[in-house]
């Protein structure tokens, strides 16, 4: 196994992890659009700033993927919501779910990358975890690590 092939393989893993993070950020941006339309007045600003944060991360990931020679995955036209979102309480639950999903993909980016990309992914994971608890009110021991979660949430995310 040559160092070159090895470097190629790790670059592929890196690209794959970044693409998955981008797909999750696309979904989060879409999801927060739904959240913003349903959430009560008092929490609208918070939802708005989360929406902005995810747009910024989405744009940063798009640049990183291009830098690596990849073609950034596109957003889906629409996403299936994990549950109906008729009111503010459901919107808050959806927001928490979106953050959990994003935390998971960034944990994988941390594993697949090094240097500045890894640092940035760790930061994104941290921010997602804090936003998740702001919405849900409940902390989890290992944000983003599904294999260590007490309860599984396999079908928790908006899917294309």
Partner 1 sequence: MPYPPPSRALTGPRRRTLFASAAGAALLVGCSGGSGESRESSAGSPSLAERVRARAARDSVGLVERYDAAIAAHPAAAERLRTLRAEVVRHAEAFGGTIGKSGATTSTSPSPSASPSPLSSPSPSPSPSSPATEKDALVELATAERALADRRTAALADVPGELARLLASVAAAGAVHAYLLTEGAR
Closer to partner 1 by CB, 10 or 159: give it. Answer: 10
Closer to partner 1 by CB, 1 or 154: give it. Answer: 1
Q: How many residues does the chain have?
A: 160
Closer to partner 1 by CB, 49 or 139: give it. Answer: 139
Cα separation, 51 vs 39, in Å, equals: 13
Here's the x/- map for partner 1, 94-123, by CB under 8 A: it reads as ---------x--xxx-xxxxxx--xx-xxx
Stretch that binds partner 1, among 18-26, 31-39, 45-53, 142-150 (CB under 8 A): 142-150
Phi-psi region of 69 (alpha: psi -120 to 50; beta: other; left: phi over 0): left
DSSP code of 43?
G
Place of tokens 């021991």: 141
Cα separation, 151 vs 142, in Å, equals: 12
Closer to partner 1 by CB, 39 or 128: give it. Answer: 128
Q: Which of 74, 80, 89, 130 binds partner 1 (CB under 8 A)?
A: 130
Neighbours of 15 (CB within 10 A): 18
Q: Is 139 in the site for partner 1 (CB under 8 A)?
A: yes
DSSP code of 66?
H
Here's the x/- map for partner 1, 47-86, by CB under 8 A: it reads as ----------------------------------------
């Amino acid at each position: 196994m040559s160092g070159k092939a090895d470097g190629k393989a790790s670059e592929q893993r890196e690209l794959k992890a970044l693409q998955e993070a981008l797909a999750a950020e696309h979904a989060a941006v879409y999801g927060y659009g739904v959240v913003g339309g349903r959430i009560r007045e008092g929490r609208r600003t918070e939802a708005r700033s989360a929406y902005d944060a995810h747009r910024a991360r989405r744009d940063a990931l798009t640049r990183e993927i291009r830098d690596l020679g990849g073609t950034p995955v596109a957003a889906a036209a629409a996403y299936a919501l994990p549950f109906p979102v008729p009111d503010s309480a459901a919107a808050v639950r959806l927001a928490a779910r979106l953050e959990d999903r994003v935390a998971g993909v960034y944990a994988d980016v941390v594993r697949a990358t090094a240097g500045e990309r890894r640092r940035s992914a760790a930061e994104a994971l941290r921010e997602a975890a804090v936003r998740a608890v702001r919405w849900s009110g409940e902390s989890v021991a290992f944000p983003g690590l599904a294999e260590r979660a007490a309860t599984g949430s396999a079908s928790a995310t908006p899917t294309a």
